[in-house]
Amino acid sequence: MKISILAAAAALMAGACSAQAANIEFWYGNTGPVETAIKAQCDAFNAAQTQHKVTCVGQGSYEVSMQKAIAAFRAKNHPVLIQFFDAGTLDLMLSNAVVPVQEILPDVKWDNYIAGARAYYETSGGKLFAQPYNASTLLFYTNKTELEKAGITQTPTTWEEVIDAARKLKAAGHACPFVTDGDTWRVLEQFSARHGLPIASRHNGYDGLDAEYVFNTTFVAKHLQNLVDWRKEGLVKLNADTKAGNYTAAFNAGECAMMEGSSGSYAASTKAFDGKYQLTVNMAPMYKGYERHNTLVGGASIYVMKGHDQAQVDGAKAFLDFLRKPEQQMAFTAATGYVPVTNDVLEAINKSGDAKAAKYATAALGIESMNQPPTADSRGIRLGFYVQFREIFVEETQKAYGGQQTMQVSLDNAKKRGDELLRRFEQTYKGVKLP
Amino acid sequence: MTSESTLFSNRWLPVLLVSPFMLLIVLFFYVPIFQAFYWSFFLEQPFGGGSMFVGFDNFARVLSDREFWQAGWRTIIFMVTASSLAVLIPLILAVAADRKIRLSLPARNVLVWPKGVAGASIGVVFAFVFNPFVGLLAPLNKAFPGIWAPGIDGTDAFITLIAAHVWSGIPFNFVILLAGLQSIPRTMHQAAAMDGAGPWRRIFDVQLPLIMPQLFLTLVLEFTESITSAFALIDTITHGGPGGATTLLVYKIYKDGFSGYDLSGASTQTAILMVFVILLTAAQFVFLGRRINYER
């Protein structure tokens, strides 16, 4: 009898407590310096207030995090906050597993986010679905020291200049002038966006689930064929061609002189270059004769998952509010190289007097790149099962680099397989309207 | 039946003793398998919340998919080459160890060690061993640039995978085959030798026929295991690449299901793969198993 009374009292107390405060979980996928920065933010949140406690759980990668979230959601054991990457945007929008952030936080000034970041994550009605978190975009990294050794004083800005520089580097005996991993995000998405090319019809899926891939017919096909030819010439190297086995590692070690990479790897590069080489970052190169449009916001954003009580949602809101604070975003940018995507943070950086400092180098540049004139096809990518398409694209293009088939055949195959994914997605979400 | 009842006085006791294990099998084998078969007839939304019965649509989709057949074909090539090598090499080693050649005693010990290494760890080690820049074949690459490039050339990646699989299969098969060889009575060897049979003759006419049960066992296990256990190796060494050259069916299922969120397609392929493995094993028993004489 006594025990049951005690138990009841304990249950009541627990109930009373959870009405005010909440322990919430936040899942993320990053590792390395970015993970350190995320953990620091979690600790800072827990230290700054006592009402809520956030537990941040690293899942090792975006993909694993998403896999676990699916399993956890089905088992009703999911966290309230989860970080997802850009490619999963439509899958999540239609998942019925998340609440748009703008719906649960209606009073936030969401138009503070730059247009490029909003466009990627907002509904057709202009409601932001997720809160951009570690936003990144594609930048062009050069090892200034190595370039100067080969007699290149001006950082290349067009692909023509990049390849000229690569030829000079090669002539000077450099083993790896330009390195890329041929990843879909870098060579297809960001290339298409800034050159104003569509990846799929219906404005990359923004206008309906019946979109079809079209990238195999655009100028990107020519660019990818160029990459194959340049690789044969010894100007472009892939992951597997480098000693380091990975393009960023190869660049950071000084093995390769130029790379196109995410702004999010800036911190790692500066750290690796410290005292050995000089690093330059620029906007990603364009082909001559093409007008520059915006690059896409990459990285990841935070979603609020359904099925939690009010206290947990309150905790989640508090944490999201905390992450949006300018000083938090600035610290995160300085630690990682990810780009702050709200206007007030940019102002804060400008006012801080540190605007020219290396730690904010990617902020201004990334924003500039994402703020170039947009087209209807450079808003983002709203295609279903897109995570799998990215892998199909890599798989097919690898066959072209390996010499098994021409790049055009690879792209045609990737389009065909991608369209099958889109049709299945359409069928899976039959009768569902794009939000 | 009588012998059982003498061992256990209570007829429920054996059931009780087996039940924890049966429970685990049901929970972690039969339930998921049933789920896979069930999902293969539905179009399932990744996060739940909506699934639609589609009959045999998933099967039609999978069976008309070129990628599925390519992955299946790769699986068969891997199965045949990797598992025959994984039996042949231990067989040679076991025959040698059985012949009491020098160092056969330490060899018997050392050759068992790889059994203790997990597939994923083997993968990590082999990725390093076969690295074109720092691995074993690096000198070859220095002499002939680009001749060994598992990151670019699909065949090279496939060879790496087979080598890793065979290496990991050696210990178990070696133990089984050596045990078989050692159970052959010495008198048989002596009799054969007295009849004038040389060492090679004795291997083919005495030893091999007498260890047929062990050979059959290792072959059946290898065939089924090569289909499933390749996963850890692929996931650590090649990730299915380059260009999908090492995407065997198990890996494709994982990719489709977990990174493509195609639960229905992955389930359908699981169902097909399982039926294939069952048929394959049944065929081995029907066509090979019958010819084996277990009596000595």
- Which architecture characterizes domain B59-291 according to CATH? Orthogonal Bundle (1.10)
In this prediction, residue B111 carries a pLDDT of: 76
**Rounded Cα gap, residues B210 and B26, in angstroms:** 37
Of A346, A348, A263, A331, the closest CA to residue A297 belongs to A263
**Residue B115: DSSP 8-state:** G
All structural domains of chain B with their residue ranges: 59-291
In this prediction, residue B144 carries a pLDDT of: 79
The label of the residue with tokens 């407590």 reads: A17
Tokens of B85: 């090598």
Contacts of residue B48 in chain A, CB cutoff 8 Å? 73-74
**Rounded Cα gap, residues A316 and A301, in angstroms:** 14
In this prediction, residue A20 carries a pLDDT of: 60
**What's the pLDDT tens digit per position in A233-279?**
999 999 989 988 899 999 999 999 999 999 888 888 998 999 899 99
In this prediction, residue A13 carries a pLDDT of: 47
A267-274 LR contacts (CB < 8 Å, sep 24+): A267/A33, A267/A34, A267/A335, A267/A336, A267/A337, A268/A32, A268/A33, A268/A337, A269/A141, A270/A337, A270/A358, A271/A33, A273/A143
Q: Where residue B289 falls among pLDDT bands split at 50, 70, 90? A: confident
Spacing of C-alpha A195 from chain mean position: 19
pLDDT, mean over chain B? 86
Q: What are phi and psi of A212, to 5 degrees?
A: -130, 150
**Rounded Cα gap, residues A228 and B86, in angstroms:** 38
DSSP string, B32-44: HHHHHHHHTTEEE
ipTM reported for the complex, 2 dp: 0.82
Size of interface A-B (CB pairs under 8 A): 96
**What's the pLDDT tens digit per position in B18-68?**
999 999 999 988 998 898 899 899 888 888 877 888 889 889 989 998 899
Of B197, B200, B185, the closest CA to residue B96 belongs to B200
The answer to pTM > 0.90 is no
β partners of residue A260: A140
**Rounded Cα gap, residues A148 and A174, in angstroms:** 12
Test A388 with B262 for CB contact under 8 angstroms. Answer: yes
Of A228, A252, A271, the closest CA to residue A406 belongs to A228
Domain A138-295+384-428 matching CATH 3.40.50.2020: the answer reads no
CATH number of the domain at A23-136+297-370, out of 3.40.50.300, 3.40.50.2000, 3.40.190.10, 3.40.50.2300? Answer: 3.40.190.10
Chain A nearest C-alpha distance from B149 (Å)? 8
In this prediction, residue A1 carries a pLDDT of: 41
Chain B: residue whose CA lies nearest to A432: B50
Task: Let me know the angle formed at the C-alpha of B166 by B161 and B167, rounded to the nearest 5 degrees.
Answer: 100
| Residue stretches of chain A with pLDDT short of 50 | 1, 11-19
At A302, is the secondary structure helix, strand, or coil? Answer: strand
Contacts of residue B134 in chain A, CB cutoff 8 Å? 243
Burial class (CB in 10 A: 0-12, 13-18, 19+), B276: middle
Q: Where residue B2 falls among pLDDT bands split at 50, 70, 90? A: very low
Where in chain A is CATH 3.40.190.10? 23-136+297-370, 138-295+384-428
* % of chain B with per-residue pLDDT over 90: 23
Test B46 with A95 for CB contact under 8 angstroms. Answer: yes
> What are the residues whose beta carbons fall under 8 Å from the beta carbon of B160, sequence distance 6 or more?
B126, B127, B130, B150, B237, B238
In this prediction, residue A417 carries a pLDDT of: 94
Test B152 with A404 for CB contact under 8 angstroms. Answer: no
Higher pLDDT pick, B146 / A45: A45
**Rounded Cα gap, residues A249 and B14, in angstroms:** 59
Spacing of C-alpha B129 from chain mean position: 22
Chain A nearest C-alpha distance from B276 (Å)? 25
- The string over B186-221, giving b where at least 16 C-beta atoms fall within 10 Å of a residue's C-beta and e elsewhere, is eeebeebeeeebeeeebbeebbeebbebbbbbbbbb
From A91, A241, A404, residue closest to B261, measured CB to CB: A91
Test B242 with A240 for CB contact under 8 angstroms. Answer: yes
Contacts of residue B152 in chain A, CB cutoff 8 Å? 238, 240-241, 398, 401-402
Measured CB to CB, residues of chain A less than 8 Å from chain B are 63, 67, 70, 73-74, 91, 95-97, 238-241, 243, 245, 385, 387-388, 391, 394-396, 398-399, 401-402, 404, 417, 420-421, 424, 427-430
Tokens of B163: 């080598």
